Structure 1
Amino acid sequence: MDDNPDNPIIEFDEQRSLELLATESLGRLVTVSGGSADIFPVNYAVSPEGRLVFRTAEGSKLAGLTIHPDVVFQVDNIEDQRAWSVIVRGEARRLDSFAEINRAEELDLKPWIPTLKYNFVEITPEKISGRGFTFGEEPERYVGY
């Protein structure tokens, strides 16, 4: 990111945003079901094709994705005086074929908590946006008044 005090917020293109996604492993999945939004923390991996993959157990998350596959996924990173945030809008689907599941297994995606998560879900991005932030003091509000 540029150290430009006049511009503490910069926009990333899709390629840079995807590169940043690949550096992390924990994000937030937003789903909508029955007119109500839910948010789930999930660990994930980025496939070589640029799709996000996570594992889940049977339950409301998987059922909701089956009914309403449009999702939002967000990943953030904060270090020292800088941060970034990437948002992915896309469509989620459970992987069903043996070939798809075998490719997902190659990502070495393991649950972080000791639970069985047999289902692989893939998010195909339709839109990726990212921003970088440089922290600093709030500018003087009343300069010139």
Structure 2
Amino acid sequence: MAYEDNEAVTELTEQEAWELLAGAPIGRLATTVGDDIEMFPVNHVVDDGTVVFRTAAGSKLFELTVNSRVAYEVDSYDEQQGWSVVVHGAAEVLSGSEELAKAEQLPLRPWIATVKTHYVRITPHSVSGRRFQFGPEPEGWHL
């Protein structure tokens, strides 16, 4: 379904959004504590309808324990088109031995040379996405 008459912006199906999310190795995690909003780049994997990432102890992990409501966004573009997928959901730090053993089997390794011993799973409330066709501004738009 198009957001505009000219089809420059189209809504992705949920399946298309999940496929793009699974193929994008890095995204941005948005957290909130009080009035503060933070953004963190993280690498992730899609696992059984959820998003899983690893993190070290620090502000990101602390913020997730204060407020588990998060948004996670991935995107990509080239010269002709782009897309964006946003996941809204609840983040949970994995703690049970069975959960951690399963997470250890995922193809998820830190993308920078640091130790990240905590696994976090985002269970989505909603997944949405849009595709953008780039081009010149339509003539007569201001009339």
Q: Deviations over 1:81-115 (max 9, x none)?
A: 01100000000010001211121122221111111
Relative distance call for 1:140 and 1:126 in structure 2 (3 A) is same
Task: Report the number of matched residues.
Answer: 140
Q: Quote the residue 2:35 is aligned against.
A: 35
Alpha-carbon distance between aligned partners in 2 of 1:90 and 1:115, rounded to the nearest angstrom: 26
Q: Quote the residue 2:120 is aligned against.
A: 121
**How do 1:39-118 residues align onto structure 2 when only pairs under 5 Å count?**
39-47=39-47, 49-118=48-117
Q: Residue type of the partner of 1:6?
A: N
Relative distance call for 1:134 and 1:99 in structure 2 (3 A) is same
TM-score (norm 1): 0.91
Q: Deviations over 1:28-66 (max 9, x none)?
A: 00000122100000011101x111000000011101101
Structure 2, unaligned stretches of length 5 or more?
Answer: none
Structure 1 stretches of 4+ with a deviation exceeding 6 A read none
Relative distance call for 1:14 and 1:64 in structure 2 (3 A) is same
Bigger mean CA deviation after superposition, 56-65 or 95-104: 95-104
TM-score (norm 2): 0.92
Alpha-carbon distance between aligned partners in 2 of 1:43 and 1:121, rounded to the nearest angstrom: 11
SS at match of 1:18: helix
> How much has 1:142 moved relative to structure 2?
5.8
SS at match of 1:29: strand
Alpha-carbon distance between aligned partners in 2 of 1:86 and 1:22, rounded to the nearest angstrom: 11
Structure 1, unaligned stretches of length 5 or more?
Answer: none
Q: Residue type of the partner of 2:8?
A: P
Q: Quote the residue 2:138 is aligned against.
A: 139
Percent identity over the alignment is 45
RMSD value over aligned CA atoms?
A: 1.7
